[in-house]
Amino acid sequence: MIQNLAFSPESWDNTIKLFAISNKNGVCAKISNYGAILTSLKLPLQNELREVVLGFDSFEAYKSTAYLNHDPYFGGIIGRFANRINQGKVKIEGEEIQLPTNHGVHILHGGHTGFDKKIWNAKIIGESKLQLSLLSEDGDQNFPGNFKLTVIYELSEDNELSIYYSATCDKVSPINLTSHSYFNFTGGQENIMNHELQIEADNILEFDKDLIPTGRYKSVENTPFDFRHRKKISNNIKSVENYDDCFVLKTEGEKVENVAELFEETSNIRMEIFTDFPGLQVYTGKYINVEGDNKFGSFSGIALETQGFPDAPNHENFSHGFIHPGEVYEHQTRYKFYF
């Protein structure tokens, strides 16, 4: 069932909408047409309705200085290019294009005004499906081409939240889409250090000091990045300080694979992630800092961002870096919950 709700405070422009999708089990996901943000995802535990993602109840909070000063991109759909592009530079058909550099000398998550900060068109297309569409015009953040994007959120009766991406563009353009939701199964009572993570990946991308890929893979064997067997995030956090790394998944072609699992023992909540994206960016949230809100500090959530590879337009051995006229970019990610 889908309901059209009102963001509080109700005095905000009525173009900003909030939708609630619920299933027969009492799972409820809330999505706004501002940024296509997943603002809330609640699971019915024995004694409570447990919030398991980081987000706000009011639209005002997403626009506040306290939030934007350290913008953690809570729950937004990120584009045109999620993650980083080295120095914001890409070469298309022999011409170098300079994209805005909003993260030091690099571009991060689409530039100063990415898709997570735009108002999308929303349409209920079924009992459990919400469609959000966006036109990013030629020159938006200096990206070439008229870029049309559709994202569908669907909540199934077996507690699976799916996100389907479909995009076209009338010029060659960099592309990398993701959902930037952060998970915390304790309902904000604890940080994510006791969560256990498992990832089907033998390699991560090798990064430089600015988290720009070198183009090489790095084996996880005998490193803190080996999550091939489920382990607590706290196990190796001291040696790495913070995970912000792209894991190379074993997905092939268009086949959707089970790529990761997150578990928290006290709540007994387990989440499986299925996707056909080639990468999983894991960010443990060391730099989350929403001033004045103690619930949203360091390590208050873990982002598990299924996506293409960062800086892919500048690495010939990385696929999924560009979209071409006549192509349809299609991917999906599904989060299945057990509790």
d(CA 289, CA 285): 9
Question: Tokens 């994206």, residue?
Answer: 277
Backbone φ and ψ of 230, nearest 5°: -60, 130
Give me the catalytic one of 154, 261, 264, 305: 305
Cβ atoms 85, 174 nearer than 8 A = yes
Task: Please confirm, yes or no, whether 305 is among the known catalytic residues.
Answer: yes
Task: Please confirm, yes or no, whether 127 is among the known catalytic residues.
Answer: no
Give me the catalytic one of 180, 195, 320, 331: 180
DSSP letters for 238-305: HHHSS-EEEEE----TT--EEEEEEEETTTTEEEEEEE--SEEEEE--TT---TT-TTSSTTS-EEEE
List Cα–Cα distances, 251 to 26, 169, 259, 260, 333, in angstroms: 32, 25, 8, 12, 12
Active-site residue set? 180, 305
